[in-house]
Amino acid sequence: MFPMSKLNESRSYGQGAQGEPDAPKASKVSFFTRLRYNFDNSLSKPGAFVGYVFIAIIFLAIIMSGIQRGVAAVVALNEPLDPATYFFSFWEAFTKILGIGSTAAWGTQLINTLYWAIGIAISGAVIGFISAQIIRAVAKLQEGKSAVIESGHTLILGWSNRVFPILSELAIANENVRKPRVVIFAPTARAVMDSEIRSRVANLGKLKVITRTGDVTNPEDLKRANVSSAKSIIILDADESGDANIVSTVLAVKSVNSNTATRIIAELDDENTAEAISTATNGQVIAVRSQNVIARVTAQASRQPGLAAVTLDLLDFAGDEIYITAVRELVGKTYGDALLAFNEASVIGLVDSKGVAQINPPATTKIPAGTKVIAIALDDDKIIYSGIRKDLVAKKIAKKASGKSKPEHLLFIGWSSMGRAVVSELAQFLPTGSTVHIVAESRHVAAEELKGLKFGKNIKVTHASVSGDIDDLIKAASAKKYNEVVILGYREAISEAEADSQTMLTMLQMNQLFEAKGNGVEPTRLVAEILDSRKAELARVAAVDDMVVSDNLAALLIAQVSENPALAPVFDDLFDADGASLSVNSIETYAPVGKSIEFAELVAIGKAHGESVIGYRTLAGSKQQASSGVKLNPAKTTKFKPAKGDGLIVVGDLRK
């Protein structure tokens, strides 16, 4: 039983039992506390401080007028001072230090001292307020939240390692532009962007880089980037979220861009997404599938020595570039004639009057009026018609009959989504019976990811999950005689810096195994993927045969299309699995070694093979540095003595 006294006590049942819950009793707030609270809140409003200062001046003026009248009424305070006293001398020195020195009566000096104190207080408050506003304005500028007023600028949306080589290339491409500007708009702190650009881009020349912080998928934020006044817009794939963020950024750009002529270059991975977004924007958005290009170059570099260096040489703005130009003298001639019609330019294709590009068409293709040539030259003014070389009657050198192609065996060390793309590319060219063995560390790649990998009937795929111990590497490398060893970075599992460090360590270990005796590991070609271009020079110390620098390759392609969108279909064709492609073939297929030959004759021989010859690569020069051995677009009159191991750089069908 409960006591009756307890039962009779009132109870609070809360909301739902007996109506509204009991409201907590408000504590009493003093008048001065409430006044201070309202004063603090009002200061956050613009102009409030100025208003309070004005009120304070009026209030103090009223008080001081009263004090002044009161002092004037006191006779003793208005009598002349006795200069003979020590206190007079002290007071005179004191007031002079304060800047209010006077020999007036004590009353007047008292009033002047009060005015001085009030003036100092108000001046200090105003100066403090102005200083705070200046600091706030500077801080806002440092945050990168202000609007961009530039026009004719290149706008880069997003932040990744590709920004730095893109800036370097744009600096070279805009050397002849009066005031080149690049605006980078990304969800990264402005101070971080500025600091990284200063430390990672050595020479920007005349190029001015402006950074702003904001959300690239937010139309309101993008308005600050002056999108409509940009000459081109580059949208970078800045994270691992796939194409979703790129699509959102494209939509945001379209919503604030009033200039339909602005070219938009978007870095995408998925082929279907790239095609859909290009169609939906009537071709205003040019999709660059950089990952596909990296995979293709990596795959072909494993089969063609020097291809990676050739590709980089072709894509950068330093030296020879690709141009599209009309040449009236070629109207009515054939593509075969065009190949030998320029002494200082190498022709690789045609663009018809509708803008459709055709890379390495048949030599018999007629060139009608309105058709332009695609040529590699030092500058567009170097594409000068020098006449048809009728003196060159090339004899096609038969390729050595090798019978049925022998199966090839490849070892992949390291794995990522890029590995799938690389092997898929290789699968189209490897002979039946070829094998691919994948070795990946279990801490970075789960064994389940490697199971069930299939790349067609021609290739047998095996895999091994290892701990990363050197014995695991020896076991894998000594299992059979490999044609190539390809080292890939664990790009999705760890940071780029860690992935590159591990790649370089593996390169050193493999070279050590190649040199050691009795371990069963036979020396072979070594191809490595480096993610960060800053590590390229360091990686060369590890003596790799070919190196694909991912961010550099992608950046060069993006920069080229940004400056000249007409090249987009040209690069699509060059780096597509179908049709003509860039390749480095053995020089012995075209000319005997040890005998000097004119480059024009090599072009004619290449024409007989159905290929467009654009240069050559010497093995001796490549041993010093990969790019040193590449001679892109030499003059047709250049004499060249082929040596064993040299290659001819051509644009043609890889399947021939």
**Best mean pLDDT range from 300-309, 342-351, 549-558, 582-591:** 342-351
Q: What pLDDT score does 306 carry?
A: 82
CA 514 – CA 432 distance, rounded (Å): 28
All domains in the chain, ordered by first residue: 49-143 (no CATH), 154-288 (3.40.50.720), 294-397+553-653 (3.30.70.1450), 409-482+484-523 (3.40.50)
Long-range interactions of 566-573: CB distance < 8 A, separation 24+: 566/324, 566/351, 566/355, 567/322, 567/324, 568/286, 568/288, 569/355, 569/356, 569/357, 570/322, 570/324, 570/349, 570/357, 570/359, 570/374, 571/293, 573/349, 573/357, 573/358, 573/359
Which helix (H) or strand (E) segment holds residue 349: the answer is: strand 346-351
Q: What pLDDT score does 336 carry?
A: 93
Q: What pLDDT score does 343 carry?
A: 94
Strand partners, 629: none
CA 308 – CA 649 distance, rounded (Å): 12
Task: Report yes or no: 340 and 613 within 8 Å, Cβ to Cβ.
Answer: no
Mean pLDDT score, 491-508? 88
Q: Is the pLDDT of residue 220 over 80?
A: yes
pLDDT per residue as tens digits for the range 415-438:
988 888 888 888 888 888 899 999
CB atoms within 10 A of CB 480: 13
pLDDT tier at 30 (50, 70, 90 boundaries)?
confident
CA 2 – CA 115 distance, rounded (Å): 77
* Lowest-pLDDT range of 293-297, 395-399, 416-420: 395-399
pLDDT per residue as tens digits for the range 226-235:
999 999 999 9
Which of residues 382 and 20 earns the better pLDDT score?
A: 382
In the chain the first and final C-alpha atoms are separated, in Å, by 103
Task: Report yes or no: 392 and 367 within 8 Å, Cβ to Cβ.
Answer: no
CA 372 – CA 328 distance, rounded (Å): 9
Q: What pLDDT score does 525 carry?
A: 85
User: Who's near 71: CB < 8 A, 6+ residues apart?
Assistant: 77, 78, 107, 110, 111
Task: Report yes or no: 311 and 547 within 8 Å, Cβ to Cβ.
Answer: no
Cα–Cα distances in angstroms (integers) from residue 207 to residues 84, 148, 225, 320, 325, in the given order: 74, 16, 18, 21, 27
pLDDT tier at 6 (50, 70, 90 boundaries)?
very low
pLDDT per residue as tens digits for the range 459-480:
899 998 888 888 888 998 998 8
Task: Report yes or no: 617 and 655 within 8 Å, Cβ to Cβ.
Answer: no
Helices (H), 99-225: 106-143, 163-173, 190-200, 219-222
pLDDT per residue as tens digits for the range 513-538:
988 888 888 888 888 888 887 777 77
This prediction has a pTM of 0.77
Which helix (H) or strand (E) segment holds residue 47: the answer is: none
Task: Report yes or no: 536 and 530 within 8 Å, Cβ to Cβ.
Answer: yes
Task: Report yes or no: 566 and 552 within 8 Å, Cβ to Cβ.
Answer: no
**Best mean pLDDT range from 18-27, 205-214, 454-463, 544-553:** 205-214
* Lowest-pLDDT range of 84-88, 112-116, 568-572, 611-615: 84-88
- Per-residue tokens: 121: 């207080």
pLDDT tier at 326 (50, 70, 90 boundaries)?
very high
User: Who's near 585: CB < 8 A, 6+ residues apart?
Assistant: 304, 647, 648, 650
Percent of residues, the chain, with pLDDT higher than 90: 32
- Per-residue tokens: 155: 């706008």
CA 420 – CA 431 distance, rounded (Å): 18
626 backbone dihedrals φ, ψ, rounded to 5°: -55, -45
CA 333 – CA 366 distance, rounded (Å): 6
Q: Is the dihedral of CA 595, 596, 597, 602 positive or negative?
A: positive
84 backbone dihedrals φ, ψ, rounded to 5°: -85, -10
Cα–Cα distances in angstroms (integers) from residue 371 to residues 222, 332, 333, 335, 654, in the given order: 40, 10, 11, 11, 26
Percent of residues, the chain, with pLDDT higher than 70: 90
Mean pLDDT score, 382-395? 80
- Per-residue tokens: 417: 């989504």
* Lowest-pLDDT range of 21-30, 421-430, 583-592: 21-30
Q: Is the pLDDT of residue 396 over 80?
A: no
Long-range interactions of 361-364: CB distance < 8 A, separation 24+: 361/335, 362/335, 362/610, 363/334, 363/335, 363/336, 363/339, 363/607, 363/610, 364/334, 364/335, 364/336
Which of residues 587 and 100 earns the better pLDDT score?
A: 587
Q: Which amino acid is at 200?
A: R
Q: What pLDDT score does 515 carry?
A: 87
Q: Is the dihedral of CA 442, 444, 448, 450 positive or negative?
A: negative
CA 169 – CA 178 distance, rounded (Å): 17
Mean pLDDT of the chain: 84
Q: What pLDDT score does 393 carry?
A: 59
